[in-house]
């Protein structure tokens, strides 16, 4: 397999996963913006949405007014914004197109038709009514690519590069969402009888589609400690940091075995997975939640960098 092919598969999966996460964040932002804040306005918090999506600095650099319309346009359609959903879908598709032969027909069709249909959408015609439906559709299409991959792709190197793209991106996204709201998850909130923070915890869970899963798993009301544990440490939760690492490390191991290389990325990935398995929330809180999340983001990015070097991405 060419290094460029590996790189394209990795980025194809990353961009599709990113599009899905952005769609989820935009939906949460939209939902919050129509909930009254009890003071005559709405809870609207697009700033947090853009921060969670990792694109607040890019937006602020524009000097544009921040409101629902500008934020949504920036997240969904903006051609000049490298990580708009539009550009993610296009990049996913172009990466797939460059390695067309490494994809199955099902995967290519999922990628290609998603891009063709999205490109045909006129942003001016997507009113608030259709916004939710469109974002749901983006998430479904990401699911379709993933389903096509799981159901049709040979379990060789290519599969593992796709897996790594998906889970490195997912871990990054979940960590960012937590990082933006880490303060409301600190134990002090519960001590203060944090009923007022209830909706913040709810928003965090919604950002990773985990409200129902949380209730099912804990059989309990929302508590910041459990929300943090759920998204960081629970191996059952498919968007938790632990879960992502539990997939990253074996794929790195499989690649190392298949190719006889990959030592650097495997060492980083195994160490991170082992630490998440060996720690608990008290330890993390003692160490500092913010510091923990920042460190995770850095180490996750380092795995991505080592992968590119180990496997000759360019």
Partner 1 sequence: MLKTQAYNTGNDTVCFDEMLRADFSARECYRTLFEWLQRQSPSGIRAKQAEADAIFRRLGITFAVYGAAEANERLIPFDLIPRVISAAEWRFLERGIEQRVRALNAFLHDIYHRQEIVRAGRIPSELVNGNSAFLPQMMGFDPPRGVYSHIIGTDIVRTEEDGFFVLEDNLRTPSGVSYMLENRETMMHLFPELFAAHRVAPVERYPELLRQTLQSVAPSGCDGEPAVAVLTPGIYNSAYFEHAFLADQMGVELVQGSDLVVEDGALWMRTIRGRARVDVLYRRIDDAFIDPLNFRPDSMLGVPGLFDLYRAGRVTLVNAPGTGIADDKAVYAYVPDIVEFYTGEKPILKNVQTFRCSIAEERGHVLEHLEELVVKEVHGSGGYGMLIGPRSTRQQRADFAERIRANPGNYIAQPTLALSTCPAFAGSGIGPRHVDLRPFVLVGDRVRVVPGGLTRVALKKGSLVVNSSQGGGTKDTWVLED
Give the footprint of partner 1 on this chain (CB under 8 A).
Answer: 1-4, 6, 94, 97-101, 108-109, 112-113, 116, 157, 255, 259-261, 311-312, 314
Least distance in angstroms from the C-beta of 112 to partner 1: 5
Contacts with 74 (C-beta within 8 Å, 6 or more apart), sequence order: 50, 55, 59, 81, 84
How far are the Cα atoms of 39, 115, 130 from residue 36, in angstroms, in the given order? 8, 36, 21
Shorter beta-carbon distance to partner 1: residue 33 or 114: 114
**Smallest gap from residue 109 Cβ to partner 1 (A):** 5
Nearer to partner 1, 187 or 250 (CB): 250
Instruction: Give dist(CA 314, CA 312) in Å, integer.
Output: 5
Cβ 218 vs Cβ 226: under 8 Å: yes
Residue 10 C-beta: closest distance to partner 1, Å: 11
**Largest Cα–Cα distance in the chain?**
63
* Nearer CB in complex with partner 1: 129/260: 260
Q: b/e string for 17-53 if b means 16 or more Cβ within 10 A? A: bbbbbbbbbbbbbbebbeeeeeeeeebbbbebbbbbb
Q: Residue 242: exposed, middle, or buried by beta-carbon count in 10 A (0-12, 13-18, 19+)?
A: buried
Please state the closest distance from residue 224 (CB atom) to partner 1, in A.
Answer: 43
CB nearer partner 1, residue 2 or residue 188: 2
For partner 1, give the closer residue by CB, 212 or 260. 260
Cβ distance to partner 1 smaller for residue 99 or 184: 99
CB of 277 to partner 1, least distance (A): 28
Residue 233 tokens, joined = 């440490």
Tell me the closest approach of the beta carbon of residue 92 to partner 1, in angstroms.
13
């Amino acid at each position: 397999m060419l290094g460029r092919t590996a790189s394209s598969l990795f980025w194809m999966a990353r961009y599709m996963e990113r599009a899905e996460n952005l769609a989820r964040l935009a939906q949460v932002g939209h939902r919050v913006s129509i909930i009254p804040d009890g003071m005559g306005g709405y809870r609207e918090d697009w700033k947090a949405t853009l921060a969670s999506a990792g694109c607040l600095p890019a937006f602020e650099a524009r000097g544009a007014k921040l409101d629902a319309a500008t934020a949504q346009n920036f997240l969904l359609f903006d051609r000049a914004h490298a990580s708009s959903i539009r550009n993610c879908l296009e990049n996913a598709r172009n990466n797939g197109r460059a390695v067309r032969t490494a994809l199955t027909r099902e995967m290519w069709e999922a990628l290609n038709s998603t891009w063709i249909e999205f490109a045909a959408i006129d942003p001016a015609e997507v009113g608030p009514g259709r916004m939710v439906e469109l974002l749901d559709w983006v998430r479904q299409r990401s699911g379709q690519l993933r389903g096509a991959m799981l159901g049709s792709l040979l379990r060789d190197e290519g599969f593992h590069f796709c897996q790594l793209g998906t889970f490195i991106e997912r871990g990054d996204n979940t960590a960012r969402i937590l990082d933006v709201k880490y303060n409301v998850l600190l134990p002090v909130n519960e001590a203060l009888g944090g009923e007022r923070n209830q909706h913040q915890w709810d928003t965090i869970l919604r950002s990773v589609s985990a409200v129902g899963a949380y209730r099912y798993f804990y059989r309990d009301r929302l508590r910041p400690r459990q929300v943090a544990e759920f998204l960081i440490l629970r191996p059952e939760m498919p968007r938790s940091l632990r879960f992502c690492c539990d997939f990253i490390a074996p794929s790195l191991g499989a690649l190392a075995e298949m190719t006889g290389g990959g030592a650097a990325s495997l060492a980083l990935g195994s160490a991170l997975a082992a630490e998440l398995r060996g720690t608990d929330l008290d330890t993390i809180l003692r160490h500092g939640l913010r510091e923990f999340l920042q460190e995770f983001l850095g180490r996750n990015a380092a795995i991505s960098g080592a992968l590119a070097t180990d496997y000759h991405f360019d």
